[in-house]
């Protein structure tokens, strides 16, 4: 019997195309350069398109392999094929920052607004990972910036969450974005404060963000700066006129939070910029002094007493 690899190219191609799986086809294609070059991977691509839902497209997009993607598309691959996580090729390329692949897919008609299982689009993945070039390209193509994923995050919120200053700036410099009545820059502002991204907090405030923005528990930006102990953000907010004595849903103030968590530098700042309400009590009937005392923050206890806090 003639060895398989001794067959003429035409017959070998028929044998390869009859193999049952992508894995089998790839295995035989890897046996020699001659076999690999038969029809420029045509058997593998055709089989993948016909029997595997064009699953190679997302994989190549993730790796940034432009030429195989183009070859697959030319052979009729579905540009909206998805991987096991329901990520399209465009999402995969955007998530990994492959700008040239993103451009190819968009030029070939990829849907900019396709969503994965979490409601995220390609621009959201690019923003989440800080790929400024990809975000800029997608902005030029008119992507939807108001869309929210299943966690109510917009592209701007995701960029702010991860601290990608250049991407946040890119969104904010896109004038149609800021002119939209549907744009929410207060949620990204809260997120940036929680994550301690001072430069982004400043950017969002400069772009019209509400300094009294609150989260779902009525915690203000200043409260979150106090919770996390970020003196720089706390100072910025106080300089911009943040309300010192706002209360969250449990009646905690910024001073109570900073005292409870042991952030002496923020406590001192609040006292110096104040005066804050030293006798305000939260739902547990605890003042800032009581919270500092029960958590063993002796320096803060002394500081509060120095500024007139009353012992009970």
- Structure-token pair, residue 307: 């500024």
DSSP assigned state of 114: -
pTM of the model: 0.85
**Cα-based distances in Å from 286 to 118, 121, 251, 255, 258:** 41, 46, 10, 12, 13
pLDDT single digits (tens) 64-107: 989 888 888 988 999 999 998 899 999 999 999 999 999 999 99
Partner residues linked to 214 by β-bridges: 220
What's the pLDDT score for residue 8? Answer: 47
Q: Count CA atoms closer than 13 A to 1's CA, side-chain side.
A: 3
Q: Which of 37, 152, 34, 155 lies closest to 94, judged by CA?
A: 155
pLDDT single digits (tens) 14-35: 565 666 666 665 565 555 565 5
**Cα-based distances in Å from 111 to 12, 70, 105, 115, 288:** 38, 16, 9, 9, 54
**Low-confidence residues of the chain: pLDDT under 70:** 1-44, 47, 51, 175-183
DSSP assigned state of 310: P
**Cα-based distances in Å from 259 to 179, 222, 286, 301:** 40, 14, 11, 8
Partner residues linked to 220 by β-bridges: 214
DSSP secondary structure, 99-127, as one string: HHHHHHHHHTT--TT---TTS--HHHHHH
Query: Buried (b) or exposed (e) across 241-264, using 16+ Cβ within 10 A?
Result: ebebebbbeeebbbbbbbbbbbbb
Task: Answer whether the bond into residue 246 is a cis peptide, omega within 30°.
Answer: no
CA angle at residue 294 from 292 to 298, to 5 degrees? 50
- In three-state form (DSSP H/G/I as H, E/B as E, the rest C), the secondary structure along 198-218 is HHHHHHHHHCCCCCCCECCCC
With H, G, I as helix, E, B as strand and everything else as coil, classify residue 220. strand
Domains and CATH numbers, the chain: 126-143+153-175+184-210 (1.25.40.20), 211-311 (1.25.40.20)
Q: Under a CB-based contact definition with an 8 Å cutoff, are residues 168 and 188 in contact?
A: yes
- Structure-token pair, residue 87: 């990520």
What's the pLDDT score for residue 1? Answer: 53
Distance between CA atoms of residues 305 and 264, nearest Å: 13
What's the pLDDT score for residue 153? Answer: 94
Distance between CA atoms of residues 109 and 184, nearest Å: 29
DSSP assigned state of 39: G
């Amino acid at each position: 019997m003639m060895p398989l690899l001794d067959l003429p190219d035409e017959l070998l191609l028929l044998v390869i195309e009859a193999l049952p799986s992508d894995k089998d086809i790839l295995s035989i294609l890897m046996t020699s350069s001659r076999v690999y070059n038969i029809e420029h991977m045509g058997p593998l691509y055709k089989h993948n398109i016909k029997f595997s839902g064009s699953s190679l497209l997302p994989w190549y997009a993730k790796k940034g392999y432009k030429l195989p993607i183009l070859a697959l598309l030319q052979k009729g691959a579905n540009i909206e094929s998805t991987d096991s996580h329901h990520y399209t090729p465009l999402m995969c390329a955007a998530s990994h920052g492959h700008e040239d692949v993103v451009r190819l897919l968009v030029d070939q008609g990829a849907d900019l607004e396709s969503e994965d299982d979490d409601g995220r689009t390609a621009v959201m993945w690019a923003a989440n990972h800080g790929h400024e070039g990809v975000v800029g390209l997608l902005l030029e193509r008119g992507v939807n910036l108001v869309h929210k994923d299943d966690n109510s995050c917009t592209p701007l919120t995701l960029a702010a969450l991860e601290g990608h200053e250049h991407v946040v700036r890119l969104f904010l410099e896109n004038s149609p974005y800021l002119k939209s009545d549907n744009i929410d820059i207060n949620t990204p502002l809260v997120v940036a404060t929680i994550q301690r991204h001072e430069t982004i907090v400043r950017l969002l405030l400069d772009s019209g963000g509400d300094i009294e923005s609150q989260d779902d528990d009525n915690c203000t930006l200043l409260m979150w700066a106090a919770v996390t102990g970020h003196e720089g953000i706390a100072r910025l907010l106080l300089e911009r006129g943040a309300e010192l004595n706002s209360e969250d849903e449990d009646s905690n103030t910024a001073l109570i939070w900073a005292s409870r968590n042991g952030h002496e530098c923020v406590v001192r700042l609040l006292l110096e910029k104040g005066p804050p309400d030293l006798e305000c009590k939260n739902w547990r009937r605890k003042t800032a002094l009581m919270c500092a005392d029960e958590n063993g923050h002796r320096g803060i206890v002394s500081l509060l007493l120095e500024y007139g806090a009353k012992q009970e």
